[in-house]
Structure 1
Amino acid sequence: MPQLSANALAIPASGIRRIYELASELDDVIQLSIGEPERPVATHILQAGADAWLADVTNYTPNSGMALLRSAISTKLERDNGYRVDDDQIHVTSGGSQALHMAMSLTLTAGDEILIPDPGYATFSMIPKLLGAVPVAYHLKAEDEFQPSLENLEQSVTPRTKVLLINSPSNPLGVVYSAEKLGELLAFAAKHDLWVISDEVYEYFTFTHSFTSVAALDHDGRVFSVYSVSKTYGLTGGRVGYLVTPPGVASTFRAAQEATVSCVNAPAQLAVVAALEGPQDALHEAREHYGNNVEAACAVLDQLGLHYQRPQGAFYIWIDVSHASGGDVAAWAEHFLLTERVAVAPGVAFGPAGEGWIRICAAGKTNPLLTAVSRLPSPKNI
């Protein structure tokens, strides 16, 4: 029998999905392992998608997306992200995950290296392996408040490095980088002639720090910016994101898009037009709800005496359970699920540096969240 490709076999199984799938087989589980907003989607967004389906707007769209949507995104970028691009630099994708995949497909050749944060979102390492490229971790340390160190990056870069990946606000850490820090990272990329992929999926969810888009600081056209409406508008199943590229990439992107998904479904694109151009009340309410949840959960963590990274953005809390996990946080998370009926994401799902940590999602309802957090093992009782 023929064998599957080595690239495909090199992709590790998701430690987050392992917990999620195990939890789905159990009763009375409080689900904190995946980033699923529980806020209702605004009615005008749902109506726009429904109207498109009923009007039979179901034909192919351009590879890079409907002109109407790309124009709405262009306006949003100038208004909210502080930079201006031509519409042909904007490409609609099947969620932020595909935007990441396309950004790496356009910048990496087999054998190339990409610098990724550790801890960092699992897909950051999965996609390069599928492409035959090599993810190289730059470690983010608690003693540095999980800010990237230029010294660490300099030690990680090699002649084969082609891309630096930046994620702010961070999943899983909730860290938001300052404009000064982003400027340092861009200078590092310019020094080593690297592309930059900036994952800005959680752009609207910041609590204590202001958000800066990397591309707003880019002066030489090296940044690929990844966005999604999944978290912003609660459309995780709608599967719409977008990639903003440097100039001159449009024809290459469209060819690559044709070879993958061809285009994103039309009704979903029209729903996103409504999301971007319509009332933003639901977004503001969601941000307030997530911020309140984070503060309430942190108060419980403080009472328990647990060490954690207080989120500056996104809607996750990164918690140290090393006093209880015994050096195997993945096994501990499974045991915790089975005994306490709380599903949390083990830190090692985000890289080796996550050993001893867990990520919880604070995007759901408040009372179940606080109940779940109260079941975490206190170091006071060890």
Structure 2
Amino acid sequence: MHEESFYFNFIKPSPIREVFNRISKDKSIINLTLGEPDFDTSKHIVYAAIEALKKGETHYTTSYGIYELREAISKRYERLYNANFDPEEICVSHGSSSGIFTTLFSILKPEDEVVIINPYYVMYPSYVRIFRAKPVFVNSTFENKFKPDIAEIEEALTNKTKAVIVISPNNPTGGIYSERWFKAISDLSQDGHFFVLHDEVYESLAFEKHYSISQWADNNEHLISMSSCSKTYAMTGWRIGWVATHNPLLDTIKIAQNYVNLSLNSFAQYGAIAALNGSQKTVETMKNAYKQRVNYTYKRLKDMGFIINEPEGAFYLFPSVKNVAKSCVDLTYALLNIAKVGVIPGSAFGSAGVNHFRISCATSMELLEEGMNRIEENLDKIMKACSVKNLSRIDFI
């Protein structure tokens, strides 16, 4: 009998993927679960990768990215945030998730603590536990728009705290942290000597203004910015992300990445250069489309009686189930089986999400309209089903 690795004690299958796998077996279900842009990568990016292939760019590159790409990322930070990263202070990664993983690999030792705001992106706690460190959760609430005060973060800090992870724009809530908040966490990190890891993968999808931790990084080596081409340029399958910091730790991250990945996809990096250096018109077009979809879905759900925060960014909404069901799992089950609409129960994102569910608006307006129509038309049946005791649960939650 095969015995699983010791490290599998610290990770679980992603509940989001479990829901998606179930939905994929029934083509009649409208899938509002995955954070996957429904746009295709722009042609000029694709053509740049094709040209690189034609020129023979099919060999190993440095494990931390070709210089031209790191230079393009550096210029982007300067252009967007007036942040000054030398190309040597940037490590290209296999998507932003890989960048987060190798950064934690580089800074954590057993018994260290990492502060994570709850609800959270599902990978963060597992990454921390793999390195036998401890995730420390700071709960946020609907009332504070799932953005805890700095004082609440400070209360969670101990002499074992090695890092605080922040994702803004946020997955799953769609919230955006303020300039004041980032300034405060930056100041706190210098006083407490811990790292701030800012996951900025949804940075281009801030409906008003996005604040990057990089804006305070020139005077603070404890700040680490992570982002990628995935959401901004609809390049999820290309797997190009990066880590940027002034801290000498970056040399360790580069070494860690060499052992984890050895080399990055060569021709995908040339596509990423075209994305970063080329026209940004499609970036704005996609953001406007997502904003329209999110605002539409927000209004429809609110009109149905759902309690919901006004959207600020990303392509997610995180409504409360309180007016409709006793639990997010009951509601997810009812939506799936009665309305044929797939969403993610908030419990997948931690204990602070148990009274909520996540809807992804990264799909066509037509499907969103149909999904909202199905929910509205079946709302009485859904509420009745959710009031029944011992309602059958989705078996993987």
TM > 0.5 fold call: yes
If asked which structure has higher relative contact order (CA below 8 Å, sep 6+), I would say 1
- Contact 1:19-1:334 at 8 Å conserved across structures: no
The aligned counterpart of 2:49 is 49
Structure 1 contact 229–235 (Cα < 8 Å) conserved: yes
Q: Corresponding residue for 2:298? A: 298
In 1, are the aligned partners of 2:200 and 2:227 still within 8 Å (CA)?
yes
Matches within 5 A, 1:225-244: 225-244=225-244
Counterpart in 2 of 1:349?
348
What residue in structure 1 maps to residue 263 of structure 2? 263
**In 1, distance between residues paired with 2:116 and 2:335?**
29
- Local SS of the residue matching 1:360: strand
Deviation of 1:3 after TM superposition, in Å, equals 3.8
Structure 1 position 362 matched with structure 2 position 339: no
Deviations 1:213-247 (A, max 9, x none): 11212322101111011100111111111111223
Q: Please say if residues 8 and 129 of structure 1, whose CA atoms lie closer than 8 Å, have aligned partners that are also in contact.
A: no
Instruction: Show CA shifts across 1:81-110 (max 9, x none).
Output: 220111111111111110111121122112
Residue 92 of structure 1 corresponds to 92
Q: CA separation in 1, counterparts of 2:203 and 2:284?
A: 13
> Partners in 2 of 1:78 and 1:335 — Cα distance?
48
| Offset of residue 381 of structure 1 | 6.4
For residues 38-79 of structure 1, give each alpha carbon's deviation from its aligned partner in whole angstroms, at most 9, with x where no partner exists.
Answer: 112211011111222233311110111001101111111100
Q: Describe the SS at the equivalent of 2:238.
A: coil
Match of 2:393 in 1: none
1:215 and 2:200 are equivalent in the alignment: no
Note the C-alpha offset of 1:249.
2.9
Q: 3-state DSSP class of the match of 1:225?
A: strand
User: In structure 2, what is the Cα distance between the partners aligned to 1:95 and 1:334?
Assistant: 32
Deviates more, 1:107-116 or 1:211-220: 211-220
Task: Give the letter aligned to residue 267 of structure 1.
Answer: F
1:126 partner amino acid = S
Q: What letter is aligned with 1:4?
A: E
CA distance in structure 2 between the partners assigned to 1:323 and 1:210 by the alignment: 32
The question of whether the paired residues in 1 share the 8 Å contact of 2:32 and 2:343 is answered with yes
Describe the shift of the 1:324–1:31 C-alpha distance in structure 2 as closer, same or farther (beyond 3 A).
same
Counterpart CA distance in 1 for 2:108 and 2:292 is 40
1:41·1:282 contact (CA, 8 Å) conserved in 2?
no
- Cα distance in structure 2, aligned partners of 1:224 and 1:236: 22
Structure 1 stretches of at least 4 aligned residues deviating more than 4 Å after TM superposition = 377-382
Q: Distance in 1 between matches of 2:193 and 2:157?
A: 11
Q: Which residues of 2 match residues 1-382 of structure 1 at below 5 A?
A: 3-207=3-207, 209-218=208-217, 219-327=219-327, 329-376=328-375
**Structure 2 regions of 5+ residues with no counterpart?**
385-397
Residues 82, 213 of structure 1: 8 Å contact kept: no
Q: Is the 8 A contact 2:295 2:311 kept in 1?
A: no
Amino acid at match of 1:255: I
What TM-score results when the alignment is normalised by the length of structure 2?
A: 0.91
Q: How many residues align?
A: 380
CA RMSD of aligned residues (A): 1.8
Q: Is the 8 A contact 2:104 2:128 kept in 1?
A: yes
Distance 1:338 1:345 in 2: 14
Q: What is the deviation of 1:146?
A: 1.6
8 Å Cα contact 2:306/2:324 also seen in 1: no
What CA distance in whole angstroms lies between the structure 1 residues aligned with 2:310 and 2:375?
17
Cα separation, partners in 2 of 1:155 and 1:6, compared to 1, 3 Å: farther
Q: Note the alpha carbon deviations across 1:281-304, whole angstroms, 9 max, x for none.
A: 211110110011111111211220
Give the TM-score, by structure 1 length.
0.94
Q: Distance in 2 between matches of 1:28 and 1:48?
A: 38
In structure 2, the CA distance between the partners of 1:374 and 1:188, relative to structure 1 (3 Å rule), is: farther
Query: Matches of 1:227 and 1:160 in 2, distance apart?
Result: 26
* 2:394 aligned residue: none
Percent of residue pairs identical: 29
Deviation of the 1:2 alpha carbon: 7.3
Structure-2 separation of matches of 1:321 and 1:374: 18
- Decide whether the 8 Å contact of 1:147 with 1:177 is kept in 2: yes
For the residue of structure 2 that corresponds to 1:204, the secondary structure is: helix
Displacement of 1:257? 1.1
Partner AA of 1:170 in structure 2 = N
Indicate conservation of the 8 Å contact 1:89/1:249, yes or no. no
Contact 2:213 2:224 in 1 (8 A): no
User: Cα gap change, 1:381/1:132 in structure 2, threshold over 3 Å: closer, same or farther?
Assistant: closer
The secondary structure found in structure 2 opposite 1:75 is: helix
CA distance in 2, matches of 1:334, 1:306: 17
Asked if the contact 1:15–1:330 (Cα under 8 Å) also holds between the matched residues in 2, the reply is no
Change (3 A) 1:151 1:254: closer
**Residue type of the partner of 1:102?**
T
Name the CA distance, whole Å, in 2 between partners of 1:117 and 1:244.
Answer: 22
- Cα deviation, 1:249-283, whole Å, max 9, x if unaligned, reads 34322211111011211111000001011111211
